[in-house]
Amino acid sequence: LKHVRTIDCVVAGYRIHKSGDGVGSLVLGLYNDDGNLNHVGVAASFTAKKRVELLDEVAPYVLDDLSDHPWASWMEAEAHVDGSMPGAPNRWSGANGRDHSWIPLRPERVVEVKYVLSTNGRFRGTTRMLRWRPDRDPESATVDQFPTLTPVDIRDVL
């Protein structure tokens, strides 16, 4: 039996699927204690049908004016120096020339995703969309949803 973890995230953008048909991944964020929206990863692995449906669902939220987006500075080359932002060159995109550009959305929708692992406030491995959360306010999707691990003394285990 595999433990399933879920978390509610703000959808702050999306990437087009490599086929060019529909949404390839949703770019996810969580608000920190300072009220800033942190990028935490993406949700992907959609069926071809769902990719097209998602494109229609997110279309009304597309931002033409990036000045209103919390990650507006990410469109500037200097913002990608540390490689931790969507679209930044990284060890996977550099050599193969994959396009990691993304389309910013108004951060007004919340989605529940399931994930296997998180470290340092980011998802690791595949994260999958479960459902939209129209009942959630985006500001309520915070980093404190990530579990905190309490250190255990090895003597207590043995």
User: What CATH architecture is 5-157?
Assistant: Beta Barrel (2.40)
DSSP state of 142: B
Region of poorest pLDDT, from 37-41, 63-67, 131-135, 138-142 = 63-67
Examine the pLDDT at 103 and tell me if it is beyond 80: yes
Between 69 and 93, the higher pLDDT residue: 69
Full-prediction pTM beyond 0.85? no
Cα angle at 45 between 114 and 110, to 5 degrees? 45
Virtual CA dihedral for 70, 73, 79, 84, nearest 10 degrees?
20
User: What's the average model confidence in pLDDT over 48-64?
Assistant: 94
Sheet of strand 37-43, all strands in order from the earlier edge strand to the far edge: 37-43, 23-31, 5-16, 103-115, 128-132
Asked if pLDDT for residue 92 goes beyond 50, the answer is no
Q: Which amino acid is at 59?
A: A
Beta bridge partners of 119: 122
pLDDT above 90 for 59:
yes
